[in-house]
């Protein structure tokens, strides 16, 4: 039954060294859904205000994203304003206006409750637990979080981590959640909280995956132009989960392949502001970049020489 995602739909105002945009479509669930929609059906649960234009809803529906779970409440849609310097790995938040998102209490429509794949985007961990209580028995539950929830609701977040199958966070969040500056040690501590698979996003340095028995590292795809990294992590998660849902291959090799597809989708998202690149993407381009990624990272085993020098 595809993927159910619960998160935010927002308006972003972003400035980078390469330009600026005002009140463009953004939000964690928006980036995730758009990315995942290239691989599978997506159902979205979020809230917007009565200022949310029809053209944005029309775009999401054009990607076959089911919006029956998108509530439209009186008031203004969630807004975020951020700025990036030449270090595009770090966003500086200038303004956050939660607006209708402040009172968001996700209600899962009955027709979504049987979704096989559930992604809990960056929302209050108490709300993430509420969502899990409203669904039946997903094959895979994955979640994201952020430093604010790690600081303010650590115990609730730890409960969520123990209930999900896959946790997708960035390197700073992994260190903060574990209390350890070393990523490998951090991963071990987070896995001890009960999650089976930890995926650590490292921006331009790629992705690390940890399980109890293995570590997998993938680089980021090298790009000549990066205009806006906003939403790259959510785009990664959408490509990752979308590919898993498309193939149904939940083996470690299947998860590794899904990581590469997630990285491919993120590499497209950062090439233009907002979702502009994802809007104009073809599946052939996705396949071509995947093959290029595979060729770039392929190397042979050691030859059978019988020993060293």
**What is the pLDDT at residue 308?**
58
| Ramachandran quadrant class, 23 (left: phi over 0; alpha: psi -120 to 50; beta: rest) | left
Distance CA 154, CA 167 (A): 15
User: DSSP for 229-278?
Assistant: -TTHHHHHHHHHHHHHHHH---SHHHHHHHHHHHHHHHHHHTTSSTTHHH
| Tokens, residue 174 | 């992994």
Backbone angles phi, psi at 281, to 5 degrees: -95, 145
Q: Judge: domain 3-297, CATH 3.40.1190.20.
A: yes
* Helix, strand, or coil (residue 33): helix
If you compute the radius of gyration of the chain from its CA atoms, what whole number of angstroms results? 19
244, 2 in Cβ contact below 8 A?
Answer: no
Dihedral pair phi/psi, residue 229, rounded to 5°: -85, 0
What's the CA gap between 173 and 182, in Å, rounded?
12
Could you give the CA distance from residue 248 to residue 241 in angstroms, rounded to a whole number?
10
Model confidence, pTM = 0.95
User: What pLDDT is attached to residue 65?
Assistant: 97
Whether the CB-CB separation of 230 and 91 falls below 8 Å is answered with yes
List of residues 6+ apart from 245 with CB closer than 8 A: 2, 3, 36, 39, 40, 116, 117
d(CA 173, CA 164): 17
CA-based angle 228:234:236, to the nearest 5? Answer: 90
pLDDT at position 305: 63
HSE on the CB side for 280, CA within 13 Å? Answer: 6
Tell me if 125 sits within 8 A of 154, measured CB to CB: no
Q: How far apart are CA 144 and CA 28, in angstroms?
A: 10
Q: Which of the residues in the chain have pLDDT under 70? A: 1, 305-309
The pLDDT of residue 10 is 97
Cβ neighbour number for residue 179 with a 10 Å cutoff: 9
């Amino acid at each position: 039954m595809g993927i159910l995602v619960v998160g935010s739909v927002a308006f972003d105002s972003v400035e980078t060294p390469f330009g600026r945009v005002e009140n463009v479509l953004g939000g964690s669930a928006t980036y995730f859904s758009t990315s995942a929609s290239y691989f599978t059906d997506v159902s979205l649960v979020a809230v917007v205000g009565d200022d949310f234009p029809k053209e944005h809803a029309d775009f999401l529906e054009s990607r076959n994203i089911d919006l029956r779970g998108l509530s439209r409440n009186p008031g203004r849609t969630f807004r975020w304003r951020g700025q990036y310097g030449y270090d595009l790995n770090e966003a500086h938040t200038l303004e956050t206006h939660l607006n209708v998102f402040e009172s968001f209490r996700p209600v899962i429509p009955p027709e979504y409750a049987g979704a096989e794949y559930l992604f809990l985007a960056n929302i209050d961990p108490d709300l993430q637990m509420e969502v899990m209580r409203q669904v039946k028995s997903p094959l895979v539950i994955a979640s994201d979080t952020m430093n604010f929830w790690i600081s303010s609701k650590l115990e609730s977040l730890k409960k969520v981590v123990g209930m999900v199958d896959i946790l997708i966070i960035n390197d700073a969040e992994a260190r903060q959640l574990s209390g350890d500056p070393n990523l490998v040690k951090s991963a071990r501590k987070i896995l001890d909280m009960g999650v089976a698979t930890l995926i650590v996003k490292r921006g331009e340095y790629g992705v690390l995956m940890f399980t109890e028995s293995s570590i997998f590292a993938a680089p980021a795809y090298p790009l000549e132009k990066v205009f806006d990294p906003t939403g790259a992590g959510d785009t990664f998660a959408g490509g990752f989960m979308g590919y898993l849902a498309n193939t149904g291959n939940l083996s470690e090799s299947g998860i590794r392949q899904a990581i590469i597809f997630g990285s491919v989708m993120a590499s497209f998202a950062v090439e233009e502001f907002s979702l502009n690149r994802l809007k104009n993407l073809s599946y052939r381009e996705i396949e071509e970049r995947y093959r290029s990624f595979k060729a770039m990272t392929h190397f042979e085993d050691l030859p059978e020489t019988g020993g060293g020098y």
